[in-house]
Homo-oligomer: A and B are copies of this chain.
Amino acid sequence: MTAPDPSFQEVLSARFADRLSTSLSLREQHGRGESHHVVALPDAVVFARDTADVADIVRLCAAHGIPIIPFGAGTSLEGHLAAVRGGLSLDLSRMNDVLRVSAEDLDCTVQAGVTREQLNSHLRDQGLFFPIDPGANATIGGMASTRASGTNAVRYGTMRENVLSLTVVLPDGSIVKTGGRARKSAAGYDLTRLFIGAEGTLGIITEVTLRIHGIPETIAAALCSFRSIDDAVNTAIAVAQLGIPVARMELMDRDLIAAVNAFSHLSLPVADTLAFEFHGSPAGVRDQVEAVADLVRDNGGHDFEWASAPEERNRLWKARHNAFYAVIAQRPGSRGWSSDVCVPISELSGCIDYTRGLLETCSVPAAILGHVGDGNYHVVFAVDPSNAVEMAEVADINKHMVERAITVGGTCTGEHGVGTGKAAYLRAEHGDAIDLMARIKRTIDPLDIMNPGKILPRA
């Protein structure tokens, strides 16, 4: 959008008035996520209030060939928000109504801009919760668009399993509803799953119907220290292989624990650590805890520390969620580079060992953490994006980690998404299936106006 059509701006201004802005600070906020990626500013930011607003904006952009980049909470880690070809940032954060909650059916419908914390505050009084927890207080629309998961996925699944249906504005401005409220359906192509993880490149998600869950009768959490990361990972593998239904099983390496202690004013033992959470009936939780404690002991773990009071648990998970900021805080002025891969669990130990080896000579602060029950782990680096030498160094480590994950049958991203950051790895991972993805993209978005340059950059 180097030379925006004047009629486009006029119509947009007339329709959205003070909900349209070209202020530099707002454009800067909307052109970046939370990570190290190059910022590319949109030409303007527009705030939608409902699906009809979004449809109007998309129709107008389609008529003028203007790119649209949907924006939720701005917590992207892989460059999803960069306006690489200019265009309009479509901010959905004011679409934040919880439209409907059914305690009977354990489902709810929300506008895309509702955040996960807002939703859980809304549900708590009814004894309900929404389990998908990527750490960041992302919007539900953003989480659907990146197929988010996080700490509870080992028990409750990811956005893929917990979305029942979507309202989507297609690239021509038409509105479709994918799916209904039945728990399962065999009626036609799975459009819901097509838009989940499409990162706004096929349409804009405006409403989401979600499965929700009753707050478990009993919740317990525990922290276990190990002599080595191998021992911690092997414990996690054993828990997964025995099918013990833990709700959370998180790895934090000793470097991360040190960073978290400093950032969150804690005094956790500085060691490679697993954090568990157990959900269920009292007897069910007792069974799980005993089974896990045995495996921890078998692998030389100790300090099976309990956090059964809600405040203690919240403090623990808050510290875990702040891991990204804790690593960055070790180097004032730095930005975070968080890369994630996911591998078959039998390959997890080898991949993490390999990654630790890569990090040994790394010149910037870095730490490993992960949702190891799913075989998913992250490395967070604290980088100076203006330093080309260290950016190249980290890019090289990232490349080796990702290539190793793909080689063992894993994926270049378990939950952060592709954005611009992982696009280079898609063909290695998917082979010719990429061409099929590209055909679908061209069919649905022939003008390439929906978050262009993400997932499948066009030649």
| Contact of A185 with B342 at beta-carbon distance under 8 Å, contacts A213-B243, A280-B284, A286-B283 already known | yes
Contact of A409 among B180, B242, B422, B439 (CB under 8 A): B180
Chain A: interface size category: 35 or more
Q: How far is the CA of A194 from the CA of B198 in the complex (A)?
A: 13
* A92-132 contact mask (Cβ, 8 Å, vs B): 1 or 0: 00000000001111110000000000000000000000000
Please provide the 5 A-B residue pairs with the shortest distance between their CB atoms, ordered closest to farther: A193-B193, A185-B411, A181-B409, A182-B342, A104-B346
Known: A160-B190, A189-B197, A243-B214. A414 touches B184 (CB 8 A): yes
On chain B, the residues within 8 Å of A17 by CB distance are none
A333 at the B interface (CB under 8 A): no
Q: Is A5 on the interface with B (CB-CB < 8 A)?
A: no
Verify B281–A418 contact, CB threshold 8 A.
Answer: no
Cβ-defined contact, A188 with B105, below 8 A: no
What is the CB-to-nearest-CB distance from A448 to chain B, in angstroms, rounded to a whole number? 15
Query: For window 140-155 of chain A, which residues contact chain B by CB distance below 8 Å?
Result: 146-149, 153
In the complex, A185 Cα to B147 Cα: how many Å? Answer: 8
A414: B residues at CB distance < 8 A: 182, 184-186
**B375 engages A437 (CB within 8 Å):** no
Give the chain B neighbours of A107 by CB distance below 8 A. Answer: 344
User: Cβ of A441: which chain B residues have Cβ within 8 Å of it?
Assistant: 189
CB-contacts of A59-97 with B (<8 A): none
Chain B residues, Cβ within 8 Å of A437: 188-189, 191
Question: Is B183's CB under 8 angstroms from A374's CB?
Answer: yes
A149 partner residues in chain B, CB cutoff 8 A: 184, 186
The CA-CA distance from A406 to B202 in the complex, in Å, is 27
Q: Give the interface segment out of A49-57, A224-232, A381-389, A427-435.
A: A427-435
Q: Is A170 an interface residue (CB 8 A)?
A: yes
- Partner of A345 from the list B105, B185, B291 (CB cut-off 8 Å) is B105
Give the shortest distance, in Å, between A286 (CB) and chain B (any CB).
Answer: 7
A266 at interface by CB-CB < 8 Å: no
A149 to chain B: closest CB distance in Å? 6
Tell me, yes or no, whether A413 is within 8 Å of chain B by CB: yes
Most buried by B among A280, A416, A430, A442: A430
**CB-defined contacts of A246 to chain B, threshold 8 Å:** none
Using a CB–CB distance below 8 Å, which chain A residues touch chain B? 102-107, 146-149, 153, 157-158, 160-161, 170, 174-178, 180-191, 193-194, 196-198, 202, 213-214, 237, 240-243, 280-284, 286-288, 291, 342-346, 374-376, 405-406, 409-418, 422, 425-426, 429-434, 436-437, 439-444, 455-456
Shortest distance from the beta carbon of A214 to any chain B beta carbon, whole Å = 5
Quick check: A431 and B183 within 8 Å, CB to CB? no
Given A189-B440, A191-B436, 20 more pairs with CB closer than 8 A: A148-B186, A174-B432, A178-B430, A178-B433, A180-B406, A181-B344, A181-B409, A182-B410, A183-B342, A183-B344, A186-B417, A187-B418, A188-B426, A189-B198, A190-B194, A193-B194, A214-B242, A280-B284, A283-B283, A283-B284
- Once the chains are docked, how many angstroms separate the CA of A174 from the CA of B417? 27
Q: Which B-chain residue is minimally distant from A181 (CB atoms)?
A: B409
- Chain B residues with Cβ below 8 Å from A345 are 104-106, 183
A-B contact pairs, 10 of them (CB 8 A): A158-B184, A177-B431, A180-B410, A182-B344, A184-B376, A184-B411, A184-B414, A185-B414, A281-B287, A439-B444
